[in-house]
Amino acid sequence: MPTVELLLSPQPHHVRTARLVGVAAARRAGLPDELVDELRWALGEACSRAVALHAAHAPDVPVRVVLRDDPTGLVVEVVDVGPEGLPVDDTDPAALFDGESVDPRVSLAVLGGLVDDMEVLPGPGGTTVRLRWPLPARVSGLS
């Protein structure tokens, strides 16, 4: 059952809000400090990607962020309405940065490098990026 859920209108400053909430929730769940920092970077990247996609495709629709603590660990989901992006392959890296905009695939590549357990789940209305961190001995939960 989701324990923390955020709906962010797709504005750049809310990405920071999401990072702060994510760090607080991760600490409360008992994630070790080093992984809390990893979560901060990964959640920030995932939200940047989602906010950019919404700003381009659905500026009136909020980005959904869910943090929950389940038997598999601490799960973070960022749900967007954008088209699925595939991880970067062997293409010229500079080509993915066209002018000032960044190909959303770059975000997924960064996430894949930062987080060991990442899934990109395409759905009918968009994409869910699911990130997961194992929790140490389960003394307390998010709730």
Partner 1 sequence: MDLSLENRTEGDRTVVEVGGEIDVYTAPKLREKLIDLVSAGNYHLVVDMEAVEFLDSTGLGVLVGGLKRVRAHEGSLRLVCTQERILKIFRITGLTKVFPIHASVAEAVAATD
Rank residues 52 and 79 by Cβ distance to partner 1 and give the closer one: 52
Task: In angstroms, give the least distance from the CB of 96 to partner 1.
Answer: 8
Task: Kindly tell me which residue out of 1, 71, 100, 137 binds partner 1, with binding defined by CB under 8 A.
Answer: 100
**CB under 8 Å, gap of 24 or more: what pairs does 81-90 form?**
81/53, 81/54, 81/57, 81/125, 81/126, 82/49, 82/50, 82/53, 82/54, 82/56, 82/57, 82/126, 82/127, 83/53, 83/57, 83/126, 83/127, 84/120, 84/122, 84/127, 85/49, 85/120, 85/127, 87/112
Q: With binding defined as CB under 8 A, does residue 33 bind partner 1?
A: no
Q: Mark the segment that binds partner 1 (CB under 8 A) among 61-69, 73-81, 110-118, 131-139.
A: 110-118
Q: Mark the segment that binds partner 1 (CB under 8 A) among 1-9, 75-83, 86-94, 131-139.
A: 86-94
Q: Which residue has the tokens 């209305």?
A: 125
Q: Mark the segment that binds partner 1 (CB under 8 A) among 60-68, 77-85, 90-98, 133-141.
A: 90-98
Instruction: List residues binding partner 1 (CB under 8 A).
Output: 12-13, 15-16, 19, 37, 40-41, 44-45, 48-49, 51-52, 88, 92-94, 96-97, 99-102, 106-107, 109-110, 112-114
